[in-house]
Every structure is written in C-alpha cells, then in structure tokens.
Amino acid sequence: MRLSYRFKGPRVNFWSSTYKLVGSVGSNRCTSSNAYSGSDNLNRHCHGDNDWTVPGTTGPTQSQLDGTYMYSYLRYNQNMAQNESVGPNILCALNPIQPLTASRATFNAALAAVIAPAKSGGTTVATGLQGAWYTLSPNWQGQWQNPNAGMANQPTLPLPYGTPNMRKIVVLLTDGDNNWQGAYQSSGASCGSSSDSVCSSLSGTELLYNAYGRVAQFNTTFPDGRISPVNQTNADSRLNSRFTAVCNAMKAPGSAVTVYVVAFGVASADRGRLQSCASSAQHYFESPTAAQLQTVFQQVGNQLASVRMLY
C-alpha cells in the first residue's frame, strides 16, 4: 500500500519506471529472451517490474511489455486494465487523505470515493497510522487544506497539543498483517535467477515498491533497522517494528494521541502487537467477522460520546 497525501500542492504518489535500469544479460541477471534488444548483445537490460514510458522518452513497445512477467500477470492473468498494469500509480489507491473537517457530508463523500486497487501491492499498516498522525499533529499545521480558511475567528488546524477542551484520537481498523511483497509473476521465477525478468535492482534481491520505496531506500532511511538479507520474511518483520515505533511515538508524552485499535479478522501472531498499540485494554476491540464490525464501532462511538470529534 502506498498512501496518497494531498497538501496545498499536487498529490504525492510515484513509482519510478524500471525501464532499462535493471540488470543485464552480461551480468547473468536474465537471459537474452527476457531482455530488451540492443546493439550490445551481452549487456541488454532485463525487464523490470514496472517498465512504464517516462514522458519525453522512448519506452517499451506493447510486445515488449507483454513479455514482462509482472505486466503480463496483471494484464492477462488478473484481467486488469492497461493503466492498472503498468505506470507510476499501479497497485495503489489514488484517493488522497481527507484532512480534518467538521463536515460530516465532506467526510462521507471522501469515504464513498475510496476505490481500492484491482490488486493490492501489499499492506503497510505503519504508513496508514502515520497518515492519521499527520492529520492530528501540529507539526503539519499549514500543510493540509485548511477547512477554516476564510472563516473569521477560527483556528488553524491541527491544533497544538494540550489545547484546552481538545483531544486527539486515532481509530485504526486493521488486520495487523504487514507484508512487503515481491513482484507478481506467473512464471515462478525468483529474483536474481538467470531466467528472471522482474528484478528491480542491478544486484541482489529486491521487493516491490511500496510506501517506503524499495527495500534499498528503506535501509538508507532506517540504517539501524536494515532489512538484511532481503526477503519477504525479514521485510515484514521490519514493517512490524516500524508500526510499533510509530504507535509508541504517537502515544508518547508531549504527543498524547489516544489510539483505538479495531482488529478485524486478526491472526494470533499479530494480536499482541495490535493490543500493545492501543492506548489501553479498553481501547482495543476485535471484530472477527464483517457482521460484527458495526457493533464494534458502536462501542467505540459510545466511549467517545462525550468527545467532540473532528472527522
């Protein structure tokens, strides 16, 4: 999952093209049949996992795209549209985060407009939690569209921590299962093998681009929590650690955000982490089925009945 933030400027959401940036036949990263043709037969570039045409440049032809494992899998195995199978926003919901608003109609319209991608690129719960925190944190004041703009005697949101008669509350609905996926492919090839055409780096194993970028970008940003060796098990573990770090920072003195967690269909391996994220045992709820979800949110609402919430 990649979050789509909309501040005063345009939406921030981008998956860089991998066209002719991935490996070569000469380095045994792929076979000549799984490479883009070129004058140098030993150094043809392998197919990437998202070979879209950058404006103003020459990109892959349709027949070349059809020979790319990930594109072919999404386009033909999953019957996804062309623009859903390749491009800067594939596998991503394109809806921006709704900033704070006192308008129920605005909130409901934003919720109704959410469209999930035809196929997910993995789940990164920590970034969803971060997005909620950013809408509440005064450190982001002036970055969001201000619902009070042009209104006399109205404060700029988000309000500072500790403002009288104000509480900052996050309600997180999740199954708690962080997963950083590898490229989709129907061939069964593994990244780094000589027959593979979906590797996303010149050397070593990589996983799909997500809210933190590539694994290599994550390791640069969080050197103390590097994913090594690179595989989905280790990457998922780091996402779990990142989730806990974000949750603890939100609840820390000085921030004092109250966190409710609604665990929906949670696996036993994820239960303890979600329980620890909630501000207390009374702030943790489980809804193992969709039918029980409404009842759980009614319970949360009853606890918040005396709190004026900004949706």
Q: Please report, for the domain that includes residue 175, its CATH number.
A: 3.40.50.410
Is 11 within the bounds of a domain? Answer: no
pLDDT higher than threshold 90 for residue 237: yes
pLDDT tier, 123 (very low <50, low <70, confident <90, very high otherwise): confident
Confidence at residue 4, expressed as pLDDT on a 0 to 100 scale: 46
> Could you tell me if residue 135 is inside a domain?
yes
The parent domain of residue 256 ranges over 104-180+237-303
Of 19-23, 29-33, 257-261, 283-287, give the lowest mean pLDDT range: 29-33
CA 175 to chain centre: 15
For 186, the 3-state DSSP assignment is coil
Q: Which residue has the higher pLDDT, 110 or 307?
A: 110
Does any domain span residue 187? no
Question: Do residues 127 and 1 lie in contact, with contact meaning Cβ atoms separated by under 8 Å?
Answer: yes
248 belongs to a structural domain? yes
- Mean pLDDT score, 17-35: 80
Backbone φ and ψ of 138, nearest 5°: -65, -15
- pTM for the predicted model, two decimal places: 0.86
Beta carbons of 125 and 211 less than 8 angstroms apart? no
**31 and 194 Cβ atoms separated by less than 8 Å:** yes
As a whole number, mean pLDDT of residues 282-286 equals 94
Reading the block at residue 122, the tokens are: 């993995």
- Predicted local distance difference test score (pLDDT) of residue 51: 92
Q: How many CB atoms lie within 10 A of CB 265?
A: 14
Query: From the CB of residue 291, how many other CB atoms can be counted at a distance below 10 Å?
Result: 8
Q: Where are the beta strands (DSSP E) in 117-202?
A: 122-123, 169-174, 179-180
Please tell me the total count of domains within the chain.
1
pLDDT at 176: 92
- Establish if 149 belongs to a structural domain: yes
* 199 within a domain of the structure (yes/no): no
pLDDT of residue 6: 46
The answer to whether residue 21 is domain-embedded is no
- Pick the closest to residue 136 from 163, 117, 110, 105 (CA basis): 163
Percentage of residues of the chain with pLDDT beyond 70: 86
The whole-number average pLDDT for the span 210-226 is: 90
* 168 within a domain of the structure (yes/no): yes
173 DSSP β-pair partners: 262
Among 147-151, 242-246, 296-300, the range of highest mean pLDDT: 242-246
